[in-house]
Amino acid sequence: MHKNGFFSLLFHYLFIAFIVAPLLVVMAMAFTDKGYLSLPTDGLSLRWFRALLENQEMLDAFFLSLKLGLVSATVATLLAVPAALAISRYEFPGRGALTGFLLSPLMIPSVVLGIAFLRFFSMAQIGGSFWALSITHVIVVLPYALRLTLASTIGLERDIEQAALSLGARRWTAFYRVVLPRIRTGVIGGWMLAFIQSFDELTMTVFVATPGTTTLPVAMYNQISQTIDPLITAVSTVLIVGTLVLMLVLDRMVGLDRVLIGEGK
């Protein structure tokens, strides 16, 4: 087996350090005891984590982003699964156009989407609600759920499903017991990427969010534009640690490598 040389490993470690170093700096600044961004600091303190727990606006924004991510990722996945099965299994006129249409939000700048959604909701007079914001996020994250789901359905053999149908199983039963377990990693990976994209979406959300529907990225953006204090580093540290824990749990339960490439069971 070919092994990487010294310089290859050195480049690899330097690249990882280059990626991780900014995160470590942000996390280190979250423990400062000063009222401004400072590194190094004279002492360690949890004052900004306590300030985060006392900041109701930031907590409300976090729970709204969490709820929005769960709703939009779930709806996008429910739409992506039948779309992926139809595209991968059947030949029909407009198949390529349908695929391009469903993936088109990836090619449109977020600023353009934000302005378009703002104009549409203003004309329809339905802006400012949680469900209007959810619709925009479903449209934006649908391609992420579709790409991994589609990767797991392409080349999926239908012999086992046909055998289940021939033995008297209903189509829903055959799908739930035969098809879904074989595309499970692609569906989970698509849902995960859709949730992360929804939770992290800022540029488009700025245009359609209102004071009553302020997500966490928007609240963080407003906080940075108004003042610079270590509160943002505390929020970032919580998100970094939470993401790391989520990745570890997902790796233990399913296998992170299989999820991210949409590999079937």
What's the rounded Cα separation, in Å, for the pair 60 and 212? Answer: 10
For the chain, the domain total comes to 1
The DSSP secondary-structure symbol of 171 reads H
In a domain, 25, yes or no: no
Residue 49 belongs to some domain of the structure: no
What is the pLDDT, as a whole number, of residue 167?
77
How far is the C-alpha of 221 from the C-alpha of 231, rounded, in Å? 12
Query: pTM to 2 decimals?
Result: 0.85
Report in angstroms the alpha-carbon separations of 126 from 20, 116, 133, 171, 210. 42, 14, 10, 38, 12
Report yes or no on 3 lying in a domain.
no
Within a domain: 22:
no
Instruction: Give, rounded to a whole angstrom, the gap between the first and last alpha carbons of the chain.
Output: 27
Q: Is residue 90 part of a domain?
A: yes
What is the model's pLDDT at position 256? 67
Residue 78 falls inside a structural domain = yes
Within a domain: residue 186? yes
Residue 28, in any domain of the structure? no
- Block mean pLDDT (10 aa), the chain, length 265: 72 90 89 79 83 91 94 94 88 87 90 90 82 92 91 79 79 82 85 90 88 88 84 90 82 67 53
Tell me, what CATH number does 253's domain have? 1.10.3720.10
- Structural domain range at position 234: 60-94+102-261
**pLDDT computed for residue 262 by the predictor:** 52
pLDDT score for 7? 78
Say what the pLDDT of residue 80 is: 93
Q: How far apart are CA 25 and CA 38, in angstroms?
A: 10
